[in-house]
Amino acid sequence: MPRWKDLPDDLDPQIKEFTSQIRRLVDRSGLSVAALADRTGYSKTSWERYLGGRLLAPKGAVVALAEVTGTSPVHLTTMWELAERAWSRSEMRHDGTMEAIRISQARAALGEFGAAEATGGPSGRVSGRPSGRKNGSVTATPGIAGPAGVSPTIPPQPTGADADARDAEGSGGKSAERRADSWGPTGYQGPPRANARPGSDPGDPRAPRPAEGAPEPGSGGRQRLMMFLAGLVGVLVVIAAVFFFTDRSGGKHQDAAAPPPSPTATRHASPPAGGKCAGSACTGKDAEAMGCSGDLVSTAKTATVGTTTLEVRYSKACGTAWGRITGATRGDKVEISAGSVRQTGEITATGDAIAYTPMVAVQNAADAKACATLASGRTGCTK
């Protein structure tokens, strides 16, 4: 039975070649994954992911593997750089795909919201009212509703002929006759017409006589006024309904407007599963002893100082970072800083090649900076 499973078919050729190379180095050394983890300082789970093609090994792990297997780190890190570029390209393509999916989902959600308003949803429901008669039937014109503070528009009014016909039906066509005959019994011929325009007085023989059953002049204006007042009342009713629904959901809006808790408070509220501290409570403590290492940690920054690899190790779950040097010798020191907080570590025993600093609390990996000072006097820091 083969020792390694086949690499995924969709894996980039550069990554596949690099992973196959480190598999051959491990096979040639005869080390088990557990022994490899013990000698390099990287966990067994991490090496299983590196060798299975599920995760790209960090540069520090590659250098440590070269040292353990007696391989030149220069050639191995060259292959790692090519694989790292391919891995970054794959992540960018994945991020672009996920972003396109999120945009499509957002557009679909907005489309459904707009459709609900167009069909008379809770926020866009208006009531219709009759606006006139045509061919003996009543036609409905939607009420005019709008946001608070916007003046309502006057609804379309019926034509003069339609208004006169409707008024004639209601009054029986007798108003004009009553006005024309109102002066008859007394023999008074109406007000003086010396200054009146010819034809402007209904009693003037020169004035045009309204047709039989037609409403008196000015009745169309009164009808328009009544229609406007009715429309205004409808608008006020709709606005009151909008405010009613807004007040009912006001509590939800207030909850949504409340500022979210700070990232630091949320992230550092409690230790992760299996952890013993989080955030500032971890400052000055050992990452492995507090349960913040293993699968919870990643290498955020790396730098090479001589033949020594310098790293910033970051645990998002614990909200901490620490410094590490590999391939080092006795007398080499490593320091981690975040703001004004600093922690240091040093190799004091002959034969040791790895040194760590205690942890410092950070909000993200960019807040931490690691520096190395070698016994030879050479120094370097991560960017």
| Per-residue pLDDT at 212 | 52
With residue 22 as reference, give the H or E element that holds it.
helix 13-29
More confident residue, 183 or 314: 314
Helices 250-257, 219-248: axis angle to 10 degrees equals 50
Q: Which one-letter DSSP state was computed for residue 1? A: -
pLDDT band at 185 (very low <50, low <70, confident <90, very high): very low
Q: Dihedral sign, CA of 311, 315, 316, 322? A: negative
Q: Which residues contact 191 (CB under 8 A, 6 or more apart)?
A: 201
pLDDT band at 131 (very low <50, low <70, confident <90, very high): very low
Question: pLDDT (tens digit, 9 = 90+) per residue, 265-309?
Answer: 334 457 877 788 999 999 999 988 888 887 678 889 999 998 898
| Most confident listed range (177-186, 218-227, 252-261) | 218-227
Q: Which of 192-196, 238-242, 340-344 has the lowest mean pLDDT?
A: 192-196
More confident residue, 293 or 169: 293
More confident residue, 321 or 199: 321
Q: Which of 28-32, 54-58, 160-164, 232-236 has the lowest mean pLDDT?
A: 160-164
Q: Is the pLDDT of residue 145 over 50?
A: no
| Per-residue pLDDT at 226 | 86
